């Protein structure tokens, strides 16, 4: 008699523990409606009487290591725009997008958010961002002041959703001391892949003779660059088909995998679990390290060796990454006007001049990059800072598409198998391409 | 014997039924419900409502931002053709098959050892219970260092024995056993306490009687201890299976489901779909499939319990 009741209660408890862990934090009814027709109509009524102060919620991961920079931008902005108060929330990059997503779902999004180009595409595709086109047109805002590539990467289906706030190109950082010790000439813009491998072999050493490698020649960058270096790409032009299983792509990824499996000049994923490539470079255990300008400020604090930068060695083609972050306005924001003012300031010439002092990335405003960025590095490492700007000539953006996280997870799984030597590169990439094609087919 | 075993004997439900609707009873009921109202409200709002909402979401496509779109059983159908889901299910079974028996055997062995009258027994019991109250994140981070290929404790011990190093968390073969081992270490203390409690309820008289009849240590354990603590064993197995179907933290902290999805268990994949791939509907459908699996596993155990759990035959 008592047992059936116990069973029912047990099942319910089980259901609740299993499901509540997975149930979304918010309920479907809490979905914010893109603030269009109804919301402004309701809020405009009481405003004209007394011009109330607007509180602008800004959430950003920009210059997270040098928070004073963003604070100074806000202080200057508030000085120029009395009546607008900025409530600033600095969130580290790693937590940023989950937090933003939850805030949107919970109906309390910020007014302005920083976004990197991949997530800008996702959020724009979901309709979470405001189209900046009409605002630009209304003010005749000069987009010509930006590097064109930085505008392209913050557009989705031909519409601009973010004002470029900072950008990066990836270049080859190298430890001069390790090169001197191994008597290898410093890398320069003429280096090829094979020359790099030769040098890396000489720079990879077991210094204490315990059978473990203590010093590595080169650290692998993110995989898409190895497609480009070999003249391949991720998708076809229309981004409807994945092309990573084509011969040139397979060859390119094979070269990447060979860094571990054949040449043994780069730290393996297991090595990187012990110490990241970043920390290895800081500790003087890594000779060549492809990384962006966010490495400058931290690496300038290194006192045990000197370093410099060069173009990433060329494969069949010259290629490297172009990354970028922007400031966006959330579609659900009720303070579109004030948000746009903030964007124009914080991602305009004045804001960029201040942000450049943080040295996190490079200002996308040409005037600022060519003066402040290079100026701020005069007499400091790296001696060849102009490589960052010159490499924009051949740097590329990863062709981002909606559902990028899902696509990248599918490819990563197969690349891990290939890099562990569990699966030939060709088979791994063929399987990955099939999965990616299936995901692409679900994008409308 | 009678008094000691009364709790295991079959209850004889011969309560007289009181009249249903006497005013006094109604008043009692009113106060009773009032007292449980706060916690019931909590259960309704934070448990039952999300559970039902998730059912609704599982029939729709929802990215958290645009309103959900009803797609019927599409999400469930997609699960069948998702090769990753198949792999993830197998991984979950692997994890369960590895962690539940190991946990059971170790917990029982520890309980038997700590049921002796040894000096400082409380210290030992506390020591084994410590991991249970530690945070899984802290445990996972520390164990990730113990497993480190180059500098980890385990490989240092292997080197002492002149054995080659093992890529504990970075090879597809060893990552899952490593995760299982950590999870067992973390939770074995809890089951140990349950067994200890059960062991202390076994009446000493039974052992005495059996010893007089000439039973050795093994027979005492096999024919007295084990049958009498079988309700505890049943509880540990049922809870262990439910818990291992829901494993998440250890995977999230130690391996992020890798390498090459070797340690992606079902809840990790649900989380990935919901919060990385923006697929709430699909994730909810998967959560319901998980719920059904746990339900089936538990019902099956309820069915066979009559065969081996004492007091149920």
Q: Could you read off the pLDDT of A397-419 as tens digits, one per residue?
A: 887 777 888 999 999 999 999 99
Say yes or no to pLDDT of A434 above 80.
yes
Say yes or no to pLDDT of A215 above 90.
yes
Query: What is the C-alpha to C-alpha distance for residues A213 and A275, in angstroms, rounded to an integer?
Result: 13
Across the strands, what pairs with B283?
Answer: none
CB contact under 8 A, B144 and A273: yes
Say yes or no to pLDDT of A47 above 60.
no
B66, B284, B298 member nearest A126 (Cβ): B66
pLDDT at A330 (0 to 100):
95
Nearest 5°: phi and psi at B73? -90, 10
Tokens representing B78 are 């997609």
- Report the pLDDT averaged over residues A194-199: 95
Say yes or no to pLDDT of A359 above 90.
no
Say yes or no to pLDDT of A46 above 60.
no
Q: Does A14 touch chain B (CB under 8 A)?
A: yes
A56 in Cβ contact with A340 (< 8 Å): no
Say yes or no to pLDDT of A112 above 70.
yes
- A88 secondary structure, DSSP code: E
pLDDT at A311 (0 to 100):
95
Q: Hey, how many other C-beta atoms are within 10 angstroms of the C-beta on B299?
A: 11
- Chain A nearest-CA distance from B221, in A, is 29
Distance of CA B273 to the CA centre of its chain: 23
pLDDT at B12 (0 to 100):
45
Put residue A331 in one of left, alpha, beta given phi > 0 → left and psi -120 to 50 → alpha.
Answer: alpha
CB contact under 8 A, A269 and B259: yes
Longest dimension (CA), chain B: 81
Say yes or no to pLDDT of B6 above 80.
no
User: Which is more confidently placed, B85 or A8?
Assistant: B85
Q: Does A417 touch chain B (CB under 8 A)?
A: yes
What residues in A contact B279, CB-CB < 8 Å? 406
What residues in A contact B248, CB-CB < 8 Å? 21
Query: What is the C-alpha to C-alpha distance for residues A168 and A322, in angstroms, rounded to an integer?
Result: 6
Say yes or no to pLDDT of A97 above 60.
yes
CB contact under 8 A, A27 and B49: yes
Q: Does A105 touch chain B (CB under 8 A)?
A: yes
- A147 secondary structure, DSSP code: -
> A128: nearest CA in chain B?
B65
pLDDT at B306 (0 to 100):
82
- Report the pLDDT averaged over residues B23-49: 87
pLDDT at A211 (0 to 100):
79
Of A129-143, A359-373, B17-31, B199-213, the least confident: B17-31
A169 in Cβ contact with A369 (< 8 Å): no
Say yes or no to pLDDT of B7 above 70.
no
ipTM for the assembly: 0.75
Say yes or no to pLDDT of B4 above 80.
no
- A412 secondary structure, DSSP code: H
pLDDT at A51 (0 to 100):
56
Q: Could you read off the pLDDT of A143-153 as tens digits, one per residue?
A: 999 988 888 88
How does the average pLDDT of chain B come out, rounded?
87
The residue of A16, A21, A22 whose CB has the most chain B CBs within 10 angstroms, and thus the best one to mutate to test that interface, is A22
User: Which is more confidently placed, A233 or B23?
Assistant: A233
Q: Could you read off the pLDDT of A381-395 as tens digits, one per residue?
A: 899 999 998 888 899
CB contact under 8 A, B284 and A23: yes
Across the strands, what pairs with A192?
Answer: A314
Query: What is the C-alpha to C-alpha distance for residues A244 and A252, in angstroms, rounded to an integer?
Result: 10
Say yes or no to pLDDT of A78 above 80.
yes
H helix count then E strand count, chain A = 21, 12
Percent of chain A exceeding pLDDT 70 equals 88
Q: Does A23 touch chain B (CB under 8 A)?
A: yes
pLDDT at B21 (0 to 100):
65
Q: How far is CA A194 from CA A265, A268, B54, B275, in A?
A: 13, 20, 55, 41
The residue of B10, B47, B260, B265 whose CB has the most chain A CBs within 10 angstroms, and thus the best one to mutate to test that interface, is B260
Q: Hey, how many other C-beta atoms are within 10 angstroms of the C-beta on A187?
A: 21
A19, A21, A274 member nearest B149 (Cβ): A274
**Count of CB pairs separated by less than 8 Å, A with B:** 149
- Chain A nearest-CA distance from B181, in A, is 19
- Report the pLDDT averaged over residues A429-434: 95
Confidence band for A30, pLDDT divided at 50, 70 and 90:
very low
Length of chain A: 444
Query: What is the C-alpha to C-alpha distance for residues A272 and B40, in angstroms, rounded to an integer?
Result: 49
Q: Could you read off the pLDDT of B139-195 as tens digits, one per residue?
A: 999 999 999 888 889 999 999 999 988 889 988 999 999 999 999 999 999 999 999
Of A130-134, A159-163, A327-331, B298-302, the least confident: B298-302
SS (H, E, C) chain B: CHHHHCCCCCCCCCCCCCCCCCHHHHHHHHHHHHHHHHHHHHHHHHHHHHHHHHHHHHCEECCCCCCCEECCCHHHHHHHCCHHHHHHHHHHHHHHHHHHHHHHHHHHHHHHHCCCCCCCHHHHHHHHHHHHHCCHHHHHHHHHHHCCCCCCHHHHHHHHCCCCCCCCCCCCCCHHHHHHHHHHHHHHHHHHHHHHHHHHCCCHHHHHHHHHCCCCHHHHHHHHHHHHHHHHHHHHHHHHHHHHHCCCHHHHHHCCCCCCCCCCCHHHHHHHHHHCCCCHHHHHHHHHHHHHHHHHHHHHHHHHHHHHCCCCC
């Amino acid at each position: 008699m008592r047992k059936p009741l116990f069973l029912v209660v047990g099942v319910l408890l089980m259901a609740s523990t299993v499901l509540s862990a997975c149930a979304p934090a918010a309920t479907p009814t809490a979905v914010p409606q893109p603030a269009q027709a109804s919301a402004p109509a309701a809020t405009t009524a009481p405003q004209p009487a007394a011009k109330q102060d607007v509180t602008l919620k800004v959430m950003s991961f920009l210059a997270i290591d040098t928070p004073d920079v963003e604070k100074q931008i806000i202080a200057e902005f508030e000085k120029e725009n009395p009546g607008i108060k900025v409530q600033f929330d600095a969130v580290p990059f790693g937590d940023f997008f989950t937090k933003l997503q939850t805030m949107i779902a919970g109906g309390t999004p910020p007014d302005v958010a920083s976004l990197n180009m991949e997530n800008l595409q996702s959020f724009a595709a979901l309709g979470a961002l405001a189209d900046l086109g009409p605002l630009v047109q209304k003010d005749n805002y000069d987009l010509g002041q930006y590097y064109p590539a930085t505008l392209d990467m913050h557009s989705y289906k031909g519409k601009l959703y973010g004002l470029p706030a900072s950008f990066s190109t990836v270049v080859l950082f190298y430890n001069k001391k390790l090169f001197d010790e191994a008597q290898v000439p410093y890398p320069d813009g003429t280096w090829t892949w094979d020359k790099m491998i030769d040098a890396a072999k000489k720079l990879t050493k077991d210094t204490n003779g315990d059978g473990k490698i203590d010093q590595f020649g080169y650290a692998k960058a993110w995989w898409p660059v190895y497609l480009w270096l070999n003249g391949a790409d991720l998708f076809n032009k229309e981004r409807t088909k994945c092309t990573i299983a084509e011969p040139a792509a397979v060859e390119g990824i094979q070269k990447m995998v060979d860094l571990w499996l054949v040449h043994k000049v780069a730290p393996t994923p297991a090595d990187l679990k012990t110490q990241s490539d970043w920390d290895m470079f800081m500790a003087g255990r890594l000779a060549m390290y492809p990384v962006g300008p966010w490495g400058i400020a931290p690496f300038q604090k290194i006192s045990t060796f000197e370093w410099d930068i060069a173009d990433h060695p060329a494969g069949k083609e010259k290629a490297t990454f172009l990354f970028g972050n922007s400031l966006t306005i959330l579609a659900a924001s009720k303070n579109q006007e004030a948000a746009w003012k903030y964007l124009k300031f914080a991602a305009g010439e004045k804001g960029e001049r201040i942000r450049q002092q943080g040295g996190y990335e490079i200002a996308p405003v040409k005037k600022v990059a060519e003066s402040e960025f290079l100026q701020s590095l005069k007499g400091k490492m790296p001696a060849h800072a102009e490589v960052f700007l010159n490499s924009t000539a051949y740097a590329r953006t990863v062709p981002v598409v909606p559902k990028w996280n899902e696509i990248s997870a599918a490819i990563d799984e197969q690349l891990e198998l290939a890099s562990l030597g569990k699966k030939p590169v060709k088979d791994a990439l063929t399987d990955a391409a099939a999965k990616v094609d299936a995901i692409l087919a679900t994008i409308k | 014997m009678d008094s000691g075993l009364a709790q295991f004997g079959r209850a004889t439900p011969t309560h007289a039924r009181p009249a249903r609707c006497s005013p006094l009873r109604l008043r009692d009921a009113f106060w009773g419900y009032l007292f449980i109202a706060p916690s019931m409200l909590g259960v309704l709002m934070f448990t039952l409502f999300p559970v039902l909402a998730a059912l609704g979401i599982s029939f729709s496509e929802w990215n958290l931002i645009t309103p959900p779109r009803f797609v019927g059983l599409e999400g469930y159908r997609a699960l069948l053709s998702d090769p990753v889901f198949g792999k993830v299910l197998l991984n979950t079974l692997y994890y369960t098959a590895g962690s539940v028996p190991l946990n059971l055997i170790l917990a029982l062995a520890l309980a038997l050892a700590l049921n002796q009258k040894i000096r400082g027994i409380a210290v030992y019991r506390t020591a084994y219970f410590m991991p249970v109250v530690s945070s899984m994140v802290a445990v996972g981070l520390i164990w990730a260092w113990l497993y480190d290929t180059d500098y980890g404790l385990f490989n240092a011990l292997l080197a002492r024995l002149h054995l080659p190093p093992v890529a504990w968390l970075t090879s597809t073969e060893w990552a899952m056993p490593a995760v299982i081992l950590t999870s067992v270490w973390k939770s074995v203390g809890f089951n140990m306490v349950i067994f200890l409690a059960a062991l202390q309820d076994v009446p000493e008289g039974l052992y005495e009687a059996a010893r007089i009849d000439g039973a050795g240590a093994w027979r005492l354990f096999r024919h007295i201890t084990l049958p009498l603590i079988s309700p505890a064993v049943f509880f540990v197995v049922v809870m262990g299976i439910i818990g291992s179907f829901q494993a998440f933290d250890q995977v999230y902290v130690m391996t992020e489901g890798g390498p090459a999805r070797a340690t992606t268990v079902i809840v990790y994949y649900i989380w990935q779909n919901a919060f990385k791939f923006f697929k709430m509907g699909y994730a909810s459908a998967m959560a319901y499939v998980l719920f059904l699996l746990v339900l089936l596993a538990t019902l099956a155990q309820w069915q066979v319990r009559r065969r081996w759990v004492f007091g149920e035959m």
